[in-house]
């Protein structure tokens, strides 16, 4: 019985890890993305946003996530905590998702995580940030330039806070 339980747990963990791989692309993940960020998209209420949003904050964290990805959903309360702690110091966070057929799941995730930072819908303009994995996060300065390294995978509050503090200096 113990062996069966261990086997089931191993299969479950493997499924979770595979489930968060967004594409069938076998290329290695992108570690650094360069260039200015230009986009136009909208939020869940139909309000339009573009790259001018970066000028409003010293640093913007764009977090690409999906409601079906456990690590994505799991880090959202930590991202919210980082947002609340650092927004007065110049941090903005934008969550971007592409699972438009899962709006009820998105609602549930945002409600459970207590997410107050801006949530936008994915457009082709974000393709340059695709690593094949979610969550993937990039940092943008107030000039619309990518700064720091791309983060592939989820992180804890402490890891996010350390990274944000370094980039806000």
Q: Is the confidence at residue 17, as pLDDT, over 80?
A: no
Specify the pairing of strand 59-64 against strand 91-97.
Answer: parallel
Predicted pLDDT of residue 33:
53
In angstroms, rounded to a whole number, what is the distance separating the alpha carbons of residues 133 and 30?
A: 10
For 42, half-sphere exposure in the C-beta direction (CA atoms, 13 angstrom radius) is 6
**Mean pLDDT over residues 4-10, rounded?**
42
Q: What is the mean pLDDT of the chain?
A: 85
Architecture of domain 32-168: 3-Layer(aba) Sandwich (3.40)
pTM attached to this predicted model: 0.81
Give residue-wise pLDDT tens across range 23-63: 333 343 444 555 578 899 999 999 999 999 999 999 999 99
Predicted pLDDT of residue 37:
81
**Mean pLDDT over residues 141-158, rounded?**
95
Predicted pLDDT of residue 10:
40
The secondary structure of residue 37, as a DSSP letter, is -
Give residue-wise pLDDT tens across range 110-120: 999 999 999 99
Instruction: Identify which of 113, 112, 115, 140 has the alpha carbon closest to the alpha carbon of residue 44.
Output: 115
Residue listed under structure tokens 């997410």: 115
**Whole-number Cα distances in Å, 169 to 82, 89, 104, 132:** 16, 10, 39, 30
**Mean pLDDT over residues 147-158, rounded?**
96
Neighbours of 32 (CB within 10 A): 9
């Amino acid at each position: 019985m113990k062996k069966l339980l261990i086997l089931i747990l191993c299969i479950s963990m493997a499924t979770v890890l595979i489930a968060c791989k967004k594409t069938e692309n076998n290329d290695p993940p992108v570690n650094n993305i360069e260039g200015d960020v230009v986009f136009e998209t909208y939020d869940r209420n139909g309000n339009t946003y573009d790259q001018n949003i970066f000028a409003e904050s010293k640093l913007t964290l764009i977090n690409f996530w999906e409601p079906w990805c456990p690590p994505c959903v799991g880090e959202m309360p930590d991202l919210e905590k980082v947002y609340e702690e650092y927004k007065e110091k110049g941090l903005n966070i934008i969550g971007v998702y592409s699972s438009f057929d899962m709006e009820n799941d998105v609602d549930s995730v945002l409600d459970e995580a207590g997410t107050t930072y801006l949530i936008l819908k994915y457009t082709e303009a974000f393709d340059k940030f695709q690593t094949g994995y979610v969550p993937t996060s990039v940092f943008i300065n107030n000039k619309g330039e990518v700064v720091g390294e791309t983060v592939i995978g989820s992180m804890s509050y402490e890891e996010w806070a350390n990274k944000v503090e370094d980039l806000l200096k």
